[in-house]
Chain A
């Protein structure tokens, strides 16, 4: 399916065919990582700005490598909270950046809807690299690419997403994407971390880990932020880990032998995942990271590679 969008904002917006186009394109680009010369000229002369309002070395680096392997010029603009307290608003900053004529702005922001806001305000392409608790589409895409490589298909798969669903943009993007591709999704966690009406998104809910991971093809464990305890959502990290942490013992007792363990990173070892699970043969966490670059190359290429720019018109 041809990619015709200006922006990549949310998996919820996409047609199944568009999701597969992104995944297929990413799969085609994976071989570049294995070359001696990891560079193709596809985005020569294009400018990509990484506009990051939240510290995220991993995602930012992943986009940066992706842009550079495609020969784009990549500029990192890491806005600390302090630069916004100087009085310049997010929209002001973004308009200033647009005045430098980037082709793509990759935005990470703690406010849900920040990417949509930029897409409305700016003419260049916008990639959502995570907005609040809303969406993180490239993470979902790399999860999909990882799953397809291991399981060969999507239709009929069963996936459990475990942990803090309420505050997770990764969970939302995956729920939307997987539902569109015929995957059955179960979310699980303490009820205080499961948002109300989540069932309306077409997922099942489980309140016991053992129940959630039974018979699923993939278990996606989410990171537990320690501030959830301060907010009164869980009594203690210790208790969370005891009931919601995935140990090798629980895994082998309740899950299928060919189950995949995924995690969007960074892993709280010993909290949501025991170290031996994180390092086990079930774990595809490092595959996820390496596929992240291919996915981001695909996204940048499809957005910037096909858009017309002045001065390049040929009869």
Chain B
């Protein structure tokens, strides 16, 4: 069983002083610095101080014994819906960041389709303030490209960048007006934050609740064709070429769009892309059960598409894995398939299912997966994360490749349970998540939230476990007493 083992100071954004922590005896994979060796990692005051074989643990340091484990830079998910403000019944920054930590992520980028929409500085400020007081991992907001996601007028893009937005997206809705989109790309050129495209031609996908294909024909569900995505990926690549902007294509789902991105990259355009675990692992066949948890946008496609996505992920056409974590309340995901909300949660399942279904059978090298979750996403959004070289923030994700578990949505830390992976038995998963030099979560275990939403960190249960008690001892971590 898991322990409640947390963390005395969660005020990450304030650069809390966290003392000293050493991760010992693990195998470090840090693609950014090409380290793939038995190393220890020393973190002092939230910053990586040293990395190398058999580091001496300073006195009073928290020691994490990572024998047999894989030690990586903290994983980054650049596509998450934290739902706050406005949809706190689905997720909050408190619950969403706990889900992230439990799933091995130390940083998330949250999409702008909140209510109100994150299309102006006051919302960005609000999100960052909540993240500071309630978040347990780093939160980077993404601002809306257009006001209220309407696709009609530009948001105040400069001020959003200044407030801390690391990218722009109307995610969930495509910007159908190519002229406006072009202006957004041009206007944001100086800010170093990409435009993130939800590539979907809304006219082609009208009414579509799943992929248009054999299964939609059989089930009598209106389908959205792969072409709806391909056309917009093509358009956005052309606009990237026109403007010179960095365009990042969110959640690719089709073989066609992988081909288009590969071609764009070969031509030297500033085009990048991500893929979600469900698009890599599931196909439209999952809809045959009528489970609304098989409904998301873009939809699950065919085996040919999953294979193309995996190939793209392996060869770097697809730069990173992002979950598109999209929490919805049960009432939005339990009824008629056509009427159910689009989207699934992903933070707490992504690492485990990818390790089990891609890495373990040898379909994707572990090192590649780690790169796609660390250095690559950091590079796309210019985040100062994703590596364990000295001087970087002390964010660490430790994997246990041998741990076997059955995914049980009832035990998610997310406020929502909408996953198609429930009941999967997987081998391998996140073992410990360290943010800013603090152990935030281990073995999926966590400080429970006592009330809905806001539990100030100062009220979180304090750990007071003597060394060696329970699984805390077995896991090998000692927490400083205070």
Residues of A whose CB lies within 8 Å of any CB of B are: 12, 89-91, 109, 111-114, 116-117, 131-135, 167, 169, 172, 195-198, 200-201
Q: How far is the CB of A96 from chain B (nearest CB, A)?
A: 14
Of A109, A113, A134, A200, most buried by chain B (CB within 10 Å of CB) is A113
- In the complex the two chains form, is A195's CB within 8 Å of B216's CB? yes
CB neighbours (8 Å) of B337 from chain A are 111-113, 117
Given A89-B331, A90-B336, A113 and B219 contact (CB-CB distance below 8 Å): yes
Q: B445-458 interface mask toward A, CB cutoff 8 Å, 1 = contact, 0 = none?
A: 00000000000000
Chain B binding surface SS class: loop
Given contacts A113-B221, A132-B221, 8 further A-B contacts (CB under 8 A): A91-B334, A112-B219, A112-B338, A132-B220, A195-B216, A196-B213, A196-B217, A200-B218
- A132 contact from B213, B223, B335, B338, Cβ within 8 A: B338
Residues of B whose CB lies within 8 Å of any CB of A are: 212-214, 216-223, 225, 290, 331, 334-339
- In the complex the two chains form, is B221's CB within 8 Å of A172's CB? no
Of A111, A169, A200, most buried by chain B (CB within 10 Å of CB) is A111
- In the complex the two chains form, is A133's CB within 8 Å of B220's CB? yes
- A200 contact from B214, B222, B335, B339, Cβ within 8 A: B214
CB neighbours (8 Å) of A114 from chain B are 336
Selected A-B contacts with CB under 8 Å, 15 pairs: A12-B218, A112-B221, A112-B338, A113-B221, A113-B336, A113-B338, A167-B220, A172-B220, A196-B212, A196-B213, A196-B217, A196-B225, A198-B217, A200-B217, A200-B218
- In the complex the two chains form, is B336's CB within 8 Å of A117's CB? yes
CB neighbours (8 Å) of B222 from chain A are 133
- In the complex the two chains form, is A197's CB within 8 Å of B336's CB? no
CB neighbours (8 Å) of A89 from chain B are 331, 334-335
- In the complex the two chains form, is B220's CB within 8 Å of A135's CB? yes
Q: How far is the CB of B191 from chain A (nearest CB, A)?
A: 40
Given A113-B290, A116-B290, A117-B290, A197 and B335 contact (CB-CB distance below 8 Å): no
- In the complex the two chains form, is A169's CB within 8 Å of B290's CB? no
CB neighbours (8 Å) of A198 from chain B are 217
- In the complex the two chains form, is A134's CB within 8 Å of B220's CB? yes
Q: How far is the CB of A129 from chain B (nearest CB, A)?
A: 15
Q: How far is the CB of B433 from chain A (nearest CB, A)?
A: 36
Q: How far is the CB of A127 from chain B (nearest CB, A)?
A: 17
- B338 contact from A111, A195, A196, A201, Cβ within 8 A: A111
Given A113-B221, A132-B221, A135-B220, A91 and B335 contact (CB-CB distance below 8 Å): yes
Chain B, residue nearest A176 (CB): B218
Q: How far is the CB of A292 from chain B (nearest CB, A)?
A: 21
Chain A, residue nearest B206 (CB): A231
- In the complex the two chains form, is A111's CB within 8 Å of B336's CB? yes
Q: How far is the CB of A94 from chain B (nearest CB, A)?
A: 10
Q: How far is the CB of A272 from chain B (nearest CB, A)?
A: 20
CB neighbours (8 Å) of A200 from chain B are 214, 217-218
